[in-house]
Structure 1
Amino acid sequence: MKALASTLTAMMLALSSTSYADVNTLSQNLKKNYPTLSAKVVGESPVDDIYEVQMAGSLVYTDEDARYFFVGNLVDFQNKVNLTEQREQQLNKIDISQLPLANAIKNVKGKGERKLYVFSDPDCPYCQRLEQELTTVDNVTIYTFMMPLTALHPNAERIAKKVWCSENRYEAWEDYLLHKKMPSASDNCSNPIQKNLELANSLNISGTPTLFLNNGERISGGRSAAELESLLNSAK
């Protein structure tokens, strides 16, 4: 029995060393083949000899040669689970306590017991759709960090500033996103828009809407009211 145990231990160590060596090889090949690319090996995928590589907050897949990449979602079709989305949510968690909430528009609905942190662009159609879904979600405190993407929406920064300069910021925000009512306030008050853009960049947020739950989990893209309810409840 002792001999068998020793043999099994040796085999496990050998397999572990091989796996570590493959990850090392991949890391070296990434640096050699793409010296200007910010890429990090973050784990092994469920597929043999294929590894997870994180680039700008997104996952791609490759082998140790780092020549051919799989870009897209890895799905466990039998169990109907999007493994890529699930893994990205784990890897892209943040420390919510570090968010500068003073730079966000705060809206308390009902008791406000649940928390949602949203990075949003006023002219983003997906953000507008999300805002519509949020009208039926209650018992939540929403912190909206305005993040105008001027390359896509040239007027978004001016609108965001006008919203911030409004007496009732959330009302101005909601009026614009839901009803296309332009804020009447000026756009030259002190505002956190540039700081929000820098914050988004530091968190690898490149698209809107991007949401964070109270446990720090990241959700990319909009969700239906029913999905938001489920996510908020799971993050208590």
Structure 2
Amino acid sequence: MKKNLLITPLLLAIASVAFAAPSDTDRVKALVKQKMNIEATTAKRLPMGLYEVVADRNLLYVDKDVKFLFAGHIYDIANQKDLTQARLDDLSRIDIKGLPLNQALKTVHGKGERNLYLFADPYCSFCQKLEHTLKELDNVTIYTFVTPLMNSAAMVDRILCAPNPEKAWEDWMINQKEPPQLPKNCKPENGNKNMILFNRFGLEGLPTMYFDDGYRLEGAVSLEEIEQRLK
């Protein structure tokens, strides 16, 4: 009976110490902050022994003592898969339901049963190239968040204040037809709001597209790649 009485407090003491001790991942996060001045959101140990550290939707790979930083992508050779890119794709996903569609231009092709969410700038040559590609898409509704990234605030305002903003956007992007001059009584806010969205999503360039599952696709990609994602 006395042995049991002695063992119970001992087990409780061991459990308390174990509970109080920081986990490996917490330790790695603390070392990343201490040595690299980077605030890590999460950290987890990978099967190959490295630690994946997420910081502001970016990935870092470090050893357990954060003595070494591993740059580049990790590939699964057996399955021919870029593990880093797959993880970055997951981190870049957004909740489409939270998008303020009232800030976007709406263009419908055919029945418009599929959805595409586009961030683009009127002065962006790759955005203009993508617009030519998007014209070939059928059965899609395109929500375009016109974003003044390239010192284009005045042009964005002219497009958004046009009598038909969707047509003004297409005329400029496809045919380089100038939109009307900015009316004195029009002060659009959506350009600035879209720029705030751009920064909130951690975007770095345009054009950038999102799909209904929140997946992000960047650049003036081919029609085939867009169709594949829409499927």
Question: Which TM bucket (shorter chain)?
Answer: 0.7 to 0.9
Alignment of 1:40 with 2:48, yes or no, is: no
Describe the superposition over 1:136-182 as per-residue Cα deviations: whole angstroms up to 9, x where unpaired: 11111111111221xxx22x111111111112222221222222222
Match of 2:169 in 1: 173
Q: Equivalent residues in 2 for 1:128-167 (5 A)?
A: 128-149=128-149, 153-154=150-151, 156-167=152-163
Match of 2:31 in 1: 29
Alignment partner of 2:218 out of 214, 217, 220: 220
CA distance in 1, matches of 2:67, 2:148: 36
Match of 1:54 in 2: 54
Describe the superposition over 1:100-150 as per-residue Cα deviations: whole angstroms up to 9, x where unpaired: 10000111111111111111122222222221221111111111111221x
Unaligned runs of 5+ in 2: 1-21
Q: CA deviation at 1:87?
A: 1.4
Match of 2:187 in 1: 189
Q: CA deviation at 1:80?
A: 4.2
Instruction: Mark the structure with the bigger radius of gyration.
Output: 2
Question: For residues 114 and 84 of structure 1, do their structure 2 counterparts lie closer, same or farther at Cα, with a shift above 3 Å needed?
Answer: same
Describe the superposition over 1:186-222 as per-residue Cα deviations: whole angstroms up to 9, x where unpaired: 1643231111111222222232122111111222333
Contact 1:93–1:216, Cα closer than 8 Å, also in 2: yes
Number of aligned pairs?
209
Question: For residues 171 and 40 of structure 1, do their structure 2 counterparts lie closer, same or farther at Cα, with a shift above 3 Å needed?
Answer: same
Contact 2:42–2:55, Cα closer than 8 Å, also in 1: no
User: Aligned AA for 1:193?
Assistant: G
Contact 1:92–1:217, Cα closer than 8 Å, also in 2: yes
Describe the superposition over 1:18-46 as per-residue Cα deviations: whole angstroms up to 9, x where unpaired: xx9432221111121233x3433354445
Secondary structure of the corresponding residue to residue 41 of structure 2: strand
Q: Output the TM-score relative to the length of structure 1.
A: 0.78
CA distance in 1, matches of 2:32, 2:100: 35
CA distance in 2, matches of 1:167, 1:43: 53
CA distance in 1, matches of 2:72, 2:140: 33
Contact 1:43–1:52, Cα closer than 8 Å, also in 2: yes
CA distance in 2, matches of 1:43, 1:221: 31
CA distance in 2, matches of 1:168, 1:69: 52
Unaligned runs of 5+ in 1: 1-19
Q: Output the TM-score relative to the length of structure 2.
A: 0.79
Mean Cα displacement is larger for which, 24-33 or 59-68?
59-68
CA RMSD of aligned residues (A): 2.4
Question: For residues 82 and 202 of structure 1, do their structure 2 counterparts lie closer, same or farther at Cα, with a shift above 3 Å needed?
Answer: same
Contact 1:164–1:191, Cα closer than 8 Å, also in 2: no
Contact 1:116–1:212, Cα closer than 8 Å, also in 2: yes
Mean Cα displacement is larger for which, 88-97 or 106-115?
88-97
Aligned-residue sequence identity (percent) comes to 37
